[in-house]
Structure 1
Amino acid sequence: MVRVGIMGGTFDPVHYGHLVTAEAAADLFDLSVVVFVPSGRPPHKQHQDVTDPWERYRLTELATCSNPRFRMSDVEVIRPGYSYTIDTVRAFRREYGEQAEFFFITGADAILEIMTWRQIDQLMAECRFIAAYRPGYGRDHLRKAVARMEAFSGRIHLVEVPALAISSTDIRRRLYEGRSVKYLLPEPVLHRIMETGVYHLASRHRQPRE
């Protein structure tokens, strides 16, 4: 049986925290592949400025291409309208078949809001969730929150990932302020950002978000 990790996210921009999380999940859950799925129009960020989806896709592709266990999918980038996880998982079900086992990899913050996700019952039936959190985040709080979701017992797994101390928000802020982001993201990604000026240009029109 093939085990597929689905690494969904805005990746604005992708950084080492995302890559370390994906690699840790692949090792811990014996995943055959981890598919990175940059969001197109994320519904939970409809009131926020988000970098062009194809540019985020290209940056993520540069970050993941050297790992044979990682691959890319543009399923959400090409999808019209908002991107919902249930639609993405169903698309992968059609691609990988009924015998595939799916693990959706996300951050702990998202898990705390998971009951608001579209068609959550069907989504939980289709895949298990790997919730990554950084040290000091509050593991007991997370465990209690997951325990309250009795209907989804055994479908949500908590994984501590130290590199999650890196955040896309902080990287955007550093770029906005003209500070170094070296060693926070892969060199090819940094070169692309500096070459295109995508985050420097965007900073003229938006302030870095909290």
Structure 2
Amino acid sequence: MGGTFNPPHLGHFVIAEQAAEQLDLCRVLFIPTGRIVYKNTDKSAGGWDRYNMLDKVVSKNPMFDLSDIEITQDETTYTANTLAKLRKIYPNNEYEIYFIIGADSLDYIEKWYKPEKIFEQCTVAVAGRTGFTDENMNEKINILRNMYSADIIRIDVPFIDVSSSMLRERVKEGKSIRYFTDDSIIEYILNKGLYQACKN
């Protein structure tokens, strides 16, 4: 499960837990993005901050694990290349890899770097997001299957209307983010002064 996790929120962990249960996974590997290529986000949380925030929750769940495979790279990282590295660690004849994403990411995945390589190396497991109807998702899945012979399955998850951008904005405005994410992540954000408005 890749992502910027800037910051991680309850929606991320619910999707991971539901994916593990529904797909009968041995574990869910969280991979925070290295350099953020496609999203215009607040840069105040660097790779290791995002890694450390994830670790606060991941370390408490035996089904979850965390990788620094992207944030330790000096160059821009791409999902296709990360999957190729994972395939060397988890050979195709021994392991099945699922790439867990939200419907918002699936909606533009063909614009990612070498999307055909992504679909060659894994099954994409997609979770619904607010703003994406079943009809929208099924239409997109069919398009990608036709374009790339992609193996795509859906994960049923409850809609949790929370996003990292919303949390960043609330922190910037001095508003509470309690219950939107884990208390340990909130404590980390406050202790590090992340996402807060610049003072003149």
Same fold (TM over 0.5): yes
Matches within 5 A, 1:16-31: 16-31=10-25
Alignment RMSD (CA, Å): 1.7
**1:168 pairs with 2:164:** yes
Counterparts of 1:114 and 1:31, CA distance in 2: 23
CA apart distance, 1:134: 3.0
- Between the two proteins, the alignment pairs up a number of residues equal to 196
Counterparts of 1:81 and 1:8, CA distance in 2: 17
TM-score for the superposition, normalised by structure 2: 0.91
TM-score for the superposition, normalised by structure 1: 0.87
Aligned position for 1:189: 185
Give the ranges of 4+ consecutive aligned residues of structure 1 lying more than 6 Å apart after TM superposition.
none
Greater Cα shift, 149-158 or 18-27: 149-158
| Structure 2 gaps, min length 5 | none
Percent identity (aligned): 33
Aligned position for 2:142: 147
Residue by residue, what CA displacement relative to the aligned partner does 1:59-101 show, whole Å, maximum 9, x if unpaired?
A: 0111211100100000000112212001111111111223211
| Structure 1 gaps, min length 5 | 1-6, 206-210
**1:124 pairs with 2:119:** yes
**1:55 pairs with 2:62:** no
Counterparts of 1:88 and 1:97, CA distance in 2: 14
Counterparts of 1:36 and 1:23, CA distance in 2: 12
Residue by residue, what CA displacement relative to the aligned partner does 1:127-148 show, whole Å, maximum 9, x if unpaired?
A: 0111111356311011112112
Counterparts of 1:136 and 1:119, CA distance in 2: 26
Higher strand share: 1
Matching residue within 19, 36, 40 for 2:34: 40
Contact preservation (8 Å) 2:104, 2:129: no
